[in-house]
Amino acid sequence: MLENKSLVEDPKKGSSRRDFLKKSSVITAIALTPAAAVKASDLRLDEKFSDAIEQMPLSLQINGQPYQLKVEPCTTLLDLLREKLKLTGTKKGCDQGQCGACTVHIDGVRTNSCLTLAVMHEGAKITTIEGLADGRKLHPMQEAFIKHDALQCGYCTPGQIMSAVACIQEGHANSEMEIREFMSGNICRCGAYANIVNAIQEVKGGRS
């Protein structure tokens, strides 16, 4: 009787092919199993992997203290200060460069920290509202704001004070009009503007 050889399995070959198929299925099953995925997510492997790739070293001096940091390139200076370093005196208002609540000094220049990436300031000296006072002694501008009632809800106040200090340093506080013009990037919803001008004029005149 004729045998169709192609339909007859060599028992040895057949078993090794079955083994191979079995092993491949197991490997595939492990790869696709939700448990493996859960394990990877428990270990936060994706985050660790992306952190390793995305974090960049950054040295800053903030309020006189040196900081060696690792930050994602997309982190704004504002988020670095508030979220990572917990320097929450700098406020987030619009987060679009329109209200001035986030004003800090970078190498002495006032800047909206919501509009600039932290990694752009390697080696810079940053001053926030927390760095203005000398220990327990308030900065003259802080004293003047309190004296002149230049704050109501206080939310815009840190940014107003940082801009006010810079305004005098820049030589832009020679008249009420000039002060108003150079403070116009800082919005106060409570309308404390008249008192803010008074506070700045007093510090400018050295009368605080």
Q: Which residues bind ligand FES (CB under 6 A)?
A: 92-95, 97-102, 112, 114, 151-157, 188-190, 192
Q: Are the beta carbons of 113 and 127 closer than 8 angstroms? A: no
CB of 37 to ligand FES, least distance (A): 39
Residue whose CB is less far from ligand FES, 140 or 154: 154
Shortest Cβ 176–ligand FES spacing (Å): 19
Which residues, at least 6 apart from 45, have a Cβ–Cβ distance to it below 8 Å?
A: none
Residue 52's Cβ-side half-sphere holds a number of Cα atoms within 13 Å equal to: 5
Closer to ligand FES at the Cβ: 69 or 187? 187
Nearer to ligand FES, 54 or 180 (CB): 180
CB 112 → ligand FES: shortest distance, Å?
Answer: 4
Between 9 and 149, name the residue whose CB sits nearer to ligand FES.
149
CB of 191 to ligand FES, least distance (A): 8
> Quick one: 57 or 150, whose CB is closer to ligand FES?
150
Closer by beta carbon to ligand FES, 114 or else 203:
114
**Minimum distance, C-beta of residue 68 to ligand FES, in the bound complex (Å):** 26
CB of 165 to ligand FES, least distance (A): 16
The string of DSSP codes covering the chain is ----GGGSPPHHHHHHHHHHHHHHHHHHHHHH-HHHHHHHHHTTHHHHHHHHHH-EEEEEEETTEEEEEEE-TT-BHHHIIIIIS--TTS--SSSSSSS-TTEEEETTEEEEGGGSBGGGGTT-EEE-GGGTSBTTBPPHHHHHHHHTT--SS-SSHHHHHHHHHHHHHTT--SSHHHHHHHTTTS--TT--HHHHHHHHHHHHTT--
